[in-house]
Amino acid sequence: MRRAAGAAVRVAERRAAAPRRTAALLPRTGAWRPRPAAVPWRSFSATPAAAHGNLHQCKPGEEITIHFVMPSGETIAVDGAPGDNLLELAHANDIDLEGACEGSIACSTCHVILEPEVFDALEEPTDEENDMLDLAFGLTETSRLGCQINLTPDLQGMKVRIPSATRNVQSEKMQNT
Amino acid sequence: MTSAAAVVTATARHAWHPCPISILSGISRFSWRHPRSSPASASTSALPRPKALSTSTTSIPTTPLRHIAIVGAGPAGLYTATALRKKLPDAHIDLFEAHATPYGLVRYGVAPDHPEVANVTHQFDALVSNDPHIRVMTSCPVYGEMPAGGPAGRAGLPLDRLQQHYDATVLAYGGAGADRALGVPGEDGVPSRILSARAFVNWYNGRPRDVEIAPPALDCTSVVIVGHGNVALDAARILLKAPSSLAATDMPSSRVAYLAEHSRVRHVHLVGRRGPWQTAFTTPSLRELLTLMKNDGIAFRTNPERFWFWDKARTPAETASRANQRRVDLLRKAVDASVTTLKPGCSVPEKEPDRTCTFHFGLAPRAFTFSKQADSDVPIQAVFDHQEPRPVHADPSDPASPVIRINVGTRDVVGSPPPSPDGLTVGTTTLPCGLVLKAVGYRAQPLPFTPSNPTRAPFIFDTRRSRVPNAGDGQVVRSADDPTPVPGLYVVGWLKHGPVGTIASTWRDALQTASTILAAHDPAAKAAPSTGSPAKGGWPALEADVAQTNPALHAQWRPWTAWKRIEAAELARGATQQPAKPREKLLSEAAMHRVADGGLPHDADFV
């Protein structure tokens, strides 16, 4: 599969497909609500995009391009709008980033690794986010929870690495998880 | 399967082992259309093979992978189904759940004041509800074998039937079937006053019981919780919280009402055998409890000398962990703050706080004695031995060498406690209380009716480590001492690595077991040519088999739509409550079965 080379093409494809996705998005609610019995499409991400709220709309030219670096090394470029968070953006674009608690800082599954300069430029993570990062596998100095990174124009072109979730599972000490 | 085939499978597994992630990440990007609507996506989803394997034709897996059975529809089973579905758009994945409801500990383990954690059920619901190739059968316990003469109570499905009809069977029934015992006198003396935290969690989460037992005795002011894990903190939080703050959660209304009417609990003691570095709770849980205490005016108590003494008892590995550092720092701050408020020389006499939560370190349970005085508020005397940390150095002859481990010494039940080298307190501490919750860990169990004769079982349950013996990657092996793989049998979740970990670790564990399964099978194969065995029939064959040989089970198990009726009834009931609840759980299996079959819930079903 061609990835990094064809990024621009795929972004264009995604834009073309975007209205269909957003039409299926449900408004975000705190309470559980039953899903529609029949959904006309099926997402391959583990968490349905519908559970992650609306992506923001923005004017043409204001898109912020984010490069997701997958565990396999391939890079996928996607466009978001100011205000989107990385978890929502990943799910809307079918990028395999788990989000078990749907962005409520109650799990560490949307752990991503940022570039040092981007990490330093962002506000410090809250205590609650750091508590959850403690439980993330493969924690690095520049780790964050994807659901807590909101897109701003400053983040234009940033790289977001999604760490491998399965490497060395059995050698990891399971305590404190 | 013959032993030759088993060897091929095992070779393949080990050959693939160094790069399991490549199997999962190889096709990390999919079309978001329905997989079966696009022939192209099906062809690109074929399992990519590492190049190294192409040189060795003997190690290419040839066993098919069209029908997969998963025992247990909790997070481990459902995450495994999710991971397998991503790679195998055409495979049929059937989950068999013993309870009438899915989601396992997400429904009956996660504390009701943690609704965010339960958000994970949304994706599981979407997975099962939208995918005709994923089936969940509830009220279908899986047994080790069919008990002679049939089971006295519920019908069940023997494990060998699944192995007979499915290419792969995954054990995912969880590690919380039983509790670890303390092993001290008196712990089984008074069931309503000395009980496992698991029983308390089941009670406040409204888990249906086979046998009705009395609600926990909360007619006392002091409760002792043995254990320094997240379950202990959950129990402490539920006991200390204002019941009104739980009204809008999915805790059953009858339980909230019981807490409001009957609970006199004011003081909670959290007792751990070792020190702050060895606590097993996580920082989020600790922070949540400390925040609750601050907001509700619950005083933090500890013996600061013992805390600081035990604070020094740490290994380099423990201090190297960022999680440990931040957790202990949080505890230190709480201890510092509590010491400041108790500073000697303060002229204002300290007012005894109305409610307290005390962290005890270095106390090992010795015995529980029960006084029969009916009017006593503290009928239980919980006696603990003081533990002294003993550093074990890398070089035992050199006290300056790094500490590699902390020994707590053996409990001396009959004799006097060992003398303390530095003159710190030795001896025992007695905590008078009215309720003891034992929260020292869960224990996985074998499937019900597992054959006692090991030659009849595909594997021998590892009772010492309380898990299904496995190669570390999810492949079930014969026993803890015999690493021969059991072809087609896998394990995932707490049953695989022990009952420790969060949703996140279970998710990762499921990815690992899924990659092990994918590596050992060839999804394109129709049958196993190496053995000449016919293709497995999957669900249609199993259902025909059960209809013929096990009519009781055929009448008992229910499809996913049955659970959806239960859920709809619970959501509807929850919406009518004041205040509205996210759901009001049905509290008996009988009521669940009635609602699942289209009946109406009664008021009594929720009490």
Considering the domain architecture, whether residues B521 and B535 belong to the same structural domain is answered as yes
Contact call for A166 and B20, based on CB within 8 A: yes
Mean pLDDT across B31-49: 36
Work out the average pLDDT over B347-356. 72
Mutation target among A97, A141, A166 for the B interface, most CBs of B within 10 A: A166
Asked if B535 and B452 sit in the same domain, the reply is yes
B267-271 sheet: strands from edge to edge = B194-196, B435-438, B222-226, B267-271, B356-360, B299-302
Counting the structural domains of chain B, the total is 2
Contact A169/B509, CB-based, under 8 Å? yes
Q: Looking at the structure, do residues B120 and B206 belong to the same domain, yes or no?
A: no
Task: Spell out a b/e string for B340-359, using b for 16 or more CB atoms within 10 Å of the CB, else e.
Answer: eeeeeeeeeeeeeeebbbbb
Closest residue in B to A71 (Cα–Cα): B25
Q: What is residue B31's predicted lDDT score, i.e. its pLDDT?
A: 31
Q: Is the pLDDT of residue B410 over 90?
A: no
**CB-CB: which of B35, B118, B504 is closest to A109?**
B504
Pick B508's closest partner by Cβ from A94, A101, A137. A137
For residue A100, which residues of chain B lie inside 8 Å, CB to CB?
Answer: 117, 119-120, 123, 503-504, 507
Chain B nearest-CA residue for A104: B116
- CA-to-CA distance for B592 and B490, rounded, in angstroms? 31
Which pLDDT value is given to residue B258?
A: 95
Q: Does B342 reside within a domain?
A: yes
Same domain, B140 and B251: no
pLDDT average, residue stretch B136-146: 93
Q: Are residues B199 and B345 in the same domain?
A: yes
A–B interface: beta-carbon pairs under 8 A: 179
> Which of A34, A41, A176 is the closest to B32 by Cβ?
A41
Residue B158 pLDDT level (bands cut at 50, 70, 90):
very high
CATH number, residue B509: 3.40.50.720
Tens of pLDDT, residues A161-175: 999 876 544 334 333
Same domain for B132 and B186?
Answer: no
Residue B207 placed within a domain? yes
Residues B165 and B211 in one domain: no
Residues B407, B391: Cα–Cα separation, whole Å: 6
**B48-B51-B56 Cα angle (round to 5):** 110
Q: Per-residue pLDDT for B362 more than 50?
A: yes
On chain B, the residues whose CB falls within 8 A of the CB of A43 are 32
Q: Is A161 on the interface with B (CB under 8 A)?
A: no
Select from B510, B527, B553 the last residue of a domain: B553
CB contact under 8 A, B29 and A17: no
Mean pLDDT over residues A121-125, rounded? Answer: 95
User: What is the C-alpha to C-alpha distance for residues B40 and B93, in angstroms, rounded to an integer?
Assistant: 22
- Is the bond preceding A19 in cis, omega lying within 30 degrees of 0? no
Does the structure show a pLDDT above 60 at B19?
no
For A:140-159, CB contacts with B below 8 A are: none
What integer pLDDT is reported at residue B210 of this predicted model? 62
Would you say residue B403 lies in a domain?
Answer: no
B20 assigned to some structural domain? no
The residue-averaged pLDDT of A123-136 equals 94
Picking from B563, B520, B499, B545, the residue whose alpha carbon sits closest to that of residue B173 is B499
Tell the residue number behind the tokens 């990490």, with chain if given. Answer: A119
Between A50, A167, A177, which is nearest B501 by CB?
A: A177
> CA nearest A96 in B: which residue?
B28
Is B246 within 8 Å of B113 (Cβ atoms)?
yes
- Judge whether residue B39 has pLDDT over 60: no
User: Could you tell me which CATH number the domain at A64-161 has?
Assistant: 3.10.20.30
**B483 and B457 co-located in one domain:** yes
Three-state DSSP class for A52?
Answer: helix
B25-34, B96-105, B566-575: least confidently modelled range: B25-34
User: Is A16 in the B-facing interface, judged by CB distances under 8 Å?
Assistant: no
Is residue B566 in some structural domain?
no
* Mean per-residue pLDDT over chain B, rounded: 83
Q: A108 and B504 in contact by Cβ < 8 A?
A: yes
- Selecting from A46, A101, A139 the residue whose C-beta is nearest the C-beta of B116 gives A101
Chain B partners of A72 at a C-beta cutoff of 8 Å?
21-22, 25-26, 28
Contact yes or no for B238/B114 (Cβ under 8 A): no
User: Which secondary-structure segment (H or E) carries B269?
Assistant: strand B267-271
Residue A154 Cα, gap to closest chain B Cα (Å): 27
Position B571 in a domain: no
Residues B272 and B363 grouped into a single domain: yes
pLDDT at B473: 93
Closest Cβ–Cβ partner in B322, B500, B507 for A100: B507
- Same-domain pairing of B506 and B363: no
Of chain A, the end-to-end C-alpha distance in Å amounts to 36
Dump pLDDT digits (tens) for B169-209: 999 998 888 888 888 888 887 888 999 999 999 999 999 87
The reply to whether ipTM tops 0.95 is: no
Confidence bin at B345 (pLDDT 50/70/90): low
- Give the pLDDT mean for B307-316: 86
Average pLDDT over residues B62-88: 93
Q: Choose among B25, B120, B507: nearest Cβ to A72.
A: B25
Set of chain B residues whose Cβ sits within 8 Å of the Cβ of A98:
507
- Helix (H), strand (E) at residue B367: strand B363-370
Nearest to A70 among B25, B511, B571 (CB): B25
A1/B123 touch (CB, cutoff 8 Å), yes or no: no
Answer whether B490's CB lies under 8 Å from B476's CB: yes
pLDDT number for residue B22:
35
Residue B268 pLDDT exceeds 50: yes
pTM of the entire predicted model: 0.81
Query: Are B130 and A128 inside 8 Å of each other by CB?
Result: no
pLDDT tens-place string over residues B559-602: 999 999 999 999 999 999 999 999 999 999 999 999 999 999 99
Here the CATH number for the domain that contains residue B239 is 3.50.50.60
pLDDT beyond 60 at A4:
no
Domain that holds residue B330: 180-383+429-442
> Are B164 and B188 part of one and the same domain?
no
* Cα distances (Å, whole numbers) of residue B203 to A132, B213, B458: 28, 9, 35
In a domain? residue B422: no
Chain B contact for A127 (CB, 8 A cutoff): yes
Domain ranges of chain A: 64-161
Chain A CB contacts of B567 below 8 Å: 34
Do the Cβ atoms of B126 and A1 come within 8 Å? no
Question: Which of B52-61, B261-270, B338-347, B389-398 is least confident?
Answer: B52-61
Query: Residues B136, B275: one domain?
Result: no
Q: Residue A20 pLDDT more than 50?
A: no
**More confident of the two residues B26 and A72:** A72
3-state secondary structure of A93: coil
B70 lies in a domain? yes
